[in-house]
Amino acid sequence: MIEARDLHKTFGPKTVLAGIDLSVAQGESLCVIGQSGTGKSVLLKCILGLVPPDRGEVLWQGRPLDRATRPDFLRRFGMLFQGGALFDSLTVWQNVAFRLRQRMADANARAIAIDKLRRVGLAPETADLMPAELSGGMAKRVGLARAIADDPQIIFFDEPTTGLDPIRARRINQLIRGIVRETGATAITITHDMASVRAIGDRVAMLQDGRIAWQGAASAMDAAPELAEFLGKTPA
Ligand SMILES: Nc1ncnc2c1ncn2[C@@H]1O[C@H](COP(=O)(O)OP(=O)(O)OP(=O)(O)O)[C@@H](O)[C@H]1O
């Protein structure tokens, strides 16, 4: 369980988070939606400890995430970055196995990387390509393989379908859904893509004006008046 309690964050005169309370149960998939600039990334960074909140705290399994507990959290955590964020000078398998190589021999790390590449639908021959040789969809898959390389219990997906055409986006959503289900990982996804939310999310939280304007089951989204504008519906 990951919990944010009363998170506040201000940059200069701008209040970005104005009291966020949010929890994600073990094995649950939460999608955080909201217009551009509403603080989704800042919220993610507060959870990761990259941005210190002005007030409030983040708990993991009931304990505040702090200098003592965060390293353990980060070891169990994987992330798919928005642009894939692959290291250009490393091969695909070296990217996927980046963390594994810190604690095991290359031959073992490479075997795991190839297994994870297969899981995301990429052939073993992909392993020795350089990131520059990949299409956008392949790079996203490699990013996904890296996110799951170390069998994380918590996975963050930052705009997983950005830059993909609808067909590739749908495949990535299906892959993410399958991976989250089969690993039982707790997932937090930041997205503008409602197709992603429908495919990936058990629950949805919408950020607006620094607060959670609505949260509920993904299946309840269409009936929520708070989401009508975001979903592009004309008010009745
Ligand atoms: N380090 C920082 N210093 C100053 N302002 C910041 C900083 N990080 C974020 N902000 C501001 O906080 C606000 C929220 O930014 P954030 O990136 O979290 O939005 P977002 O909801 O993720 O947007 P998008 O969907 O476009 O990625 C923005 O106005 C941004 O300019």
Return the H-helix or E-strand segment holding 4: strand 2-11
Ligand 1 is surrounded, with C-beta below 6 A, by: 11, 14, 16, 34, 36-42
Compute the distance from residue 216 Cα to the ligand 1 centre, in Å.
24
Q: Which of 20, 33, 42 to mutate to test the pocket of ligand 1 (most atoms within 8 A of CB)?
A: 42
pLDDT, residue 117, reads 96
The tokens describing 168, both together, are 């590739």
Which of ligand 1's atoms lies nearest the C-alpha of 51?
Answer: 1
CB 163 within 8 A of CB 129: no
State the distance from the centre of ligand 1 to the C-alpha of 157, rounded, in angstroms.
Answer: 17
In this prediction, residue 152 carries a pLDDT of: 92
What per-residue confidence (pLDDT) applies to 234? 55
Block means of pLDDT (10 residues each) for the chain, 236 residues, are 94 94 93 90 89 93 89 89 85 95 93 94 95 91 93 91 87 90 92 89 93 92 83 62
Closest CA to ligand 1's atom 1:
11
pLDDT on residue 147: 92
Which H or E element spans position 158?
strand 154-158
Residue with CA at minimum distance from ligand 1 atom 27: 36
Give the pLDDT confidence score for residue 54 in this predicted structure.
95
Q: How far apart are CA 83 and CA 139, in angstroms?
A: 8
Provide the pLDDT for residue 236.
Answer: 46
CA torsion angle 140 143 145 149 (round to 10)? -170
User: Which atom of ligand 1 is found nearest the CA of 12?
Assistant: 4
The pLDDT value given to residue 233: 65
From the number of C-beta atoms within 10 Å of its C-beta (0-12, 13-18, 19+), residue 153 rates as middle
Short-list 172, 157, 119, CA closest to 33: 157
Looking from the CA of residue 9, the nearest atom of ligand 1 is: 12
Give me ligand 1 centre to Cα 11, in Å. 9
CA 162 – ligand 1 centroid, Å: 17
Could you report the predicted ipTM of this complex, rounded to two decimals?
0.95
Task: Give, using CA atoms, the residue closest to atom 2 of ligand 1.
Answer: 11
Closest atom of ligand 1 to 45 CA is: 18
Helix (H) or strand (E) holding 208, with range, is strand 203-208
